[in-house]
Amino acid sequence: MSASRKGASLTEAMLLATVARRFYVQGRSKLEIADEFGVSRFKVARMLDTAMESGLVRVEFSLPAPVDLALSDEVRSAYGLKRALVLERSTEREPKEVVRAKIGALAARLLEEIAVPSDVIGLSWARSVNAMTEAVRSLPRCPIVQLCGVQAGMDMRGRSVETVSRVTSVSGGDAYPIFGPLVLPDRRTTETLRRQPGIAETFGQFRLLTKAVVSIGAWQPGESTVYDALDEAERAAIAARGATAEVAARLFDVSGNALSTGLAHHVLAISHEELMAVPEVIALGYSRPKAAAVDAVLRSGMVSTLITDAAAAVPLLALAAKNPPR
């Protein structure tokens, strides 16, 4: 708290500042202050309001992370979330890789704070989730479960199997990877692989998940790993069905409804129903091109915590104002 006011008499400013100091710094009640200064507690309340409105008193927040408090609170309130963490506006001019690292660091810090030994934690593949795993330094001993297969063509360090391995090396818990592709050629191949002992064991963990960290993808080039893994004809066919967003290879339309397409039958991934049943879902979705996709997923009711940036948060709030989420 700092005090300064132009145009006020020195005695008036000193009195208001003293009353404000008693309340904000020393933690005295309005009744205690009223008794000390011989006025009513209603007078104390008016003095505190005057000190704030005139600029004599300014309240500043020093958060332990680069978060925009006002935007975070507005997004949380607009969508009825448990938490929203929005990166400071200064990151809007930074390269995407730098923003991704900051999003990952925020997610890592949150996961470190809220994870408990009884958790079963699921991780989807995404560059932002990978950035989170690079930043995680401590976790309780709990199982780490891979939520979807590996995108073809990714280098080993970026694959979800390696992501799970890195996190379990920190937690010391059991690892449940999926040694298989994200997208398979047909339903028969998918069903065959799902019956393989190692993969079946991982799929059996999905119903036990207590927390999941996922990334929100937009159904457009370069904004979804699943989109990029499909051929042009299938991308267009899914877009024509109304796909707006993707989370762990599960699709959502603009209203947040689960979208049923043929894709569900040839991906190795957690089901939409299992994902919706996870009690705590931390979703990472950032950048302006993903705003509509983030809006869609938030409308599904699946997400409890959103980690994003101001570039996505500002259009998100406009979308929520135009069509308030239920």
- List pLDDT tens digits, range 275-309: 999 999 999 999 999 999 999 999 999 999 999 99
Rounded CA-CA distance 125/99 in Å is: 18
Rounded CA-CA distance 28/31 in Å is: 8
- What average pLDDT does range 127-141 have in this prediction? 93
pLDDT at residue 192 tops 70: yes
List, in order, residues 6 or more apart from 178 with CB less than 8 Å away: 146, 148, 149, 150, 160, 161, 199, 202, 268
Residue 8, pLDDT score: 59
Domains of the chain: 10-54 (1.10.10.10), 69-322 (3.40.50.1360)
Rounded CA-CA distance 87/66 in Å is: 6
Residue 3, pLDDT score: 47
Please provide the size of the chain in residues: 326
Q: pLDDT band for 7, please (50, 70, 90 cuts).
A: low
Q: pLDDT band for 2, please (50, 70, 90 cuts).
A: very low
Say if residues 278 and 212 touch (Cβ distance below 8 Å).
yes
Q: pLDDT band for 175, please (50, 70, 90 cuts).
A: very high
pLDDT at residue 85 tops 60: yes
Structure tokens at 318: 């406009």
- List pLDDT tens digits, range 50-62: 998 888 888 766 6
Rounded CA-CA distance 150/167 in Å is: 17
How far is CA 144 from each of CA 31, 164, 193, 206, 209, rounded to the nearest angstrom? 53, 6, 20, 11, 9
- List pLDDT tens digits, range 20-31: 999 988 899 999
- What average pLDDT does range 71-94 have in this prediction? 90
The predicted model scores a pTM of: 0.81
